A and B are shown apart, each in its own frame.
Chain A
Amino acid sequence: MSEIIDVQNVSKSYWRDSLEISVLHNISLKVNEGEFLCLMGPSGSGKTTLLNLIAGIDRPTKGKLIVAGTEIASLEESALAKWRSASVGFVFQFYNLIPVLTAFENVELPLLLTKLSKAERRKHVETTLEIVGLGDRIHHYPKQLSGGQEQRVAIARAIVTDPILLVADEPTGDLDRTSAEEILTLMERLNKEFKKTIMMVTHDPHAAQRARIIRHLDKGDLTEGVEYENIKANL
């Protein structure tokens, strides 16, 4: 299986006034295609920062980032935006749907950047909403949906362009247990059935159980990977 993510000696620092805050220290990580990896760690350990770097929405201070065959750290802003739209799907903790757009319109957003016709876009959106189980909610606005349904719309928006990589930052963090289970089941299905590579950040050990590999970040340092079976045995 080929590597889809190759993080090589990546560090990330932020500047607050004249104070440099180092968030990630010389991180190296490889993820194979079709993997379901979970990043765990306490607050402030740098897991969201690492996810953002891999997703191309932030840039490393140093190091090399090869994702889906592209060295993304050196891309121009517009090239990086194009790369993101084609290669990565995003799922956020707070869904981040556009409140004035319906479920259909929210899912359609990434397709507006493609050359698909209106009819093709409609077909893609309807199919994707069917996959996430919201075929009957396409004309609902976010405020008319439950949290779990909103997150499913967000997942539909993330996968509608058929990206190779799906990144999820605390996708169940704002959901009740039942809704969280539904979302995790859906992500598991996307990984197994649709062969999506998923990288998920979570605090929740139960959510982490759904991943095949778990990596821990602690104060900006990455620990060795642990296979899902071992985790499950230790819980």
Chain B
Amino acid sequence: MRILKLIYKNTLRHKLRSSLTILGIAIAVIAFGLLRTVVTAWYVGVEAAAADRMITRHSVSFIFPLPYSYKQKIEGISGVQEVSFANWFGGTYKDKNNFFARMAVGDNMLDVYPEYAVPKDQLDVYNKERNSCVVGKDIAEKYNFKLGDIITMDGDIYPGQWDFVVRGIYQPKYKTTDGTQMFFHWEYLNERMTKEMPGRANDVGWYIIKIKDQTQSATISEKVDALFKNSPAETKTETERAFNQGFLASTSAIITAMNVMSFMIIGIIMLVLGNTMIMASRERTREYAVFKTLGFSGFHMIGLILGESMFIACLGSFVGLALVFPIVASFEKFIPKTFFPVFYIEPITLILAVSAALFIGIAASIFPIQRVLNTKIVEGFRFVG
């Protein structure tokens, strides 16, 4: 108990130095937490992918359409439970900055994506009206969309003015579910395309295949792609996770940089705490000699130095963790929801931050401990700091 008290008192011996070190660790923990949360948010689409869903797209690129006629053929493959499809609509709502995903989807889309939970009464109305749409809770809140509102879009990929009636607001079922999307009937899009741009009628952006057994994904993927081999629109079928990961491939360098940065912060703060501990142990060289003279062993010396280092590191990480939640919450409010639809601190981030702080505490005490243990008592008494 007395040793713990001594550790505590040693920590407070240079209040300014200890406070600045604790603050430094707290800032590092916040920066680490924030960076990891951004990385998590980046990967949320991948994390949200269901194991029993597969995506079939044009083999050349996602931007090339597939014929609507493929739907029935894919449905005929054994192991396929349900097939839906979607088209990226694009468009502008009032201002180009008002970005959120708008997709023309097959009628059974919300069956394939049960995580977009729409109340049954709303879903019934949506299914009955051709120009109805369902919007996510987050964009409904942001743009104040209410049931019955008419949203007018200026089309770009599909030119013209498009009116949609809000008939459903979906609630994201899981923490990782994106609540910033808008879905409307593909039929509505296709009807107009048939009239105005017949060459683009019956085009589908990609197919979503729900499979009965997720262990069969590789086999089904091969079967689907084999079905359309040597056709004008060959396909590439992959798991939803792989498909989503493909979107992130272009930004992998940024994510890697952020990951590296988050660990570099840990490294920098380790040097700061290490420096504090080295200074502290250097100043106390004579005191450690006194302790050794009184009969305190090397383990006691390790306990004193490691204890102080861990105490500072834990205090810093505690302050950092206490602040990271409100800071991430403010950050979430500050950045557009459509940019990072899901932004929350994962438990693993907290575990990593605490582990990093503990690691810093241990690592920062290694050199001072080594120095104290290697300093003979008589050398300690002769030391002039």
Contacts and interface: CB of A to CB of B under 8 A. Distances in A.
B173 interface: no
B146 interface: no
Nearest to B291: A109
A98 B378 contact: no
B377 A85 contact: no
B9 interface: yes
Interface residues of B, number: 24
B10 A100 contact: yes
A108 B2 contact: yes
Where chain A touches its partner, the secondary structure class is: helix
Interface string A62-92: 0000000000000001100110111000101
B293 A84 contact: yes
Most buried by B among A78, A81, A98: A81
A100 B108 CA distance: 73
Contacts of A82: 295
B287 A85 contact: no
B286 interface: yes
B293 A90 contact: yes
B312 to A, nearest CB: 15
A101 interface: yes
A204 to B, nearest CB: 20
Given A96-B287, A112-B2, A57 B293 contact: yes
B281 to A, nearest CB: 14
Interface in A140-160: 157
B376 A98 contact: no
Contacts of B297: 78, 81
B10 A113 contact: no
Chain A contact residues (Cβ within 8 angstroms of B): what range? 20 to 34
Nearest to A169: B381
Contacts of A13: none
B294 interface: yes
Interface in B367-385: 376-378, 381
Contacts, number: 58
Contacts of B377: 52, 57-58
Contacts of A85: 294-295
Contacts of A6: none
A110 B295 contact: yes
B226 interface: no
A113 B290 contact: no
B294 to A, nearest CB: 5
Nearest to B10: A100
A139 B112 CA distance: 74
B309 to A, nearest CB: 17
Interface in A100-151: 100-101, 105, 108-110, 112-113
A52 B5 CA distance: 30
A109 B290 CA distance: 10
A77 B289 CA distance: 14
Given A52-B378, A58-B378, A100 B6 contact: yes
Given A58-B377, A58-B378, A105-B2, A100 B293 contact: no
Contacts of B290: 92, 96, 98
Given A96-B286, A108-B2, A84 B295 contact: yes
A57 B376 CA distance: 8
Given A52-B378, A57-B378, A58-B377, A98 B6 contact: yes
Contacts of A99: 13
B295 A101 contact: no
29 contacts: A52-B377, A52-B378, A57-B293, A57-B377, A58-B377, A77-B298, A78-B298, A81-B292, A81-B295, A81-B296, A81-B297, A82-B295, A84-B294, A90-B293, A90-B294, A92-B290, A92-B381, A96-B290, A96-B381, A98-B287, A99-B13, A100-B6, A101-B9, A105-B5, A109-B291, A109-B294, A113-B295, A113-B296, A157-B294
Would you list the 4 A-B pairs with minimal beta carbon distance, nearest first? A85-B295, A100-B9, A57-B377, A96-B290
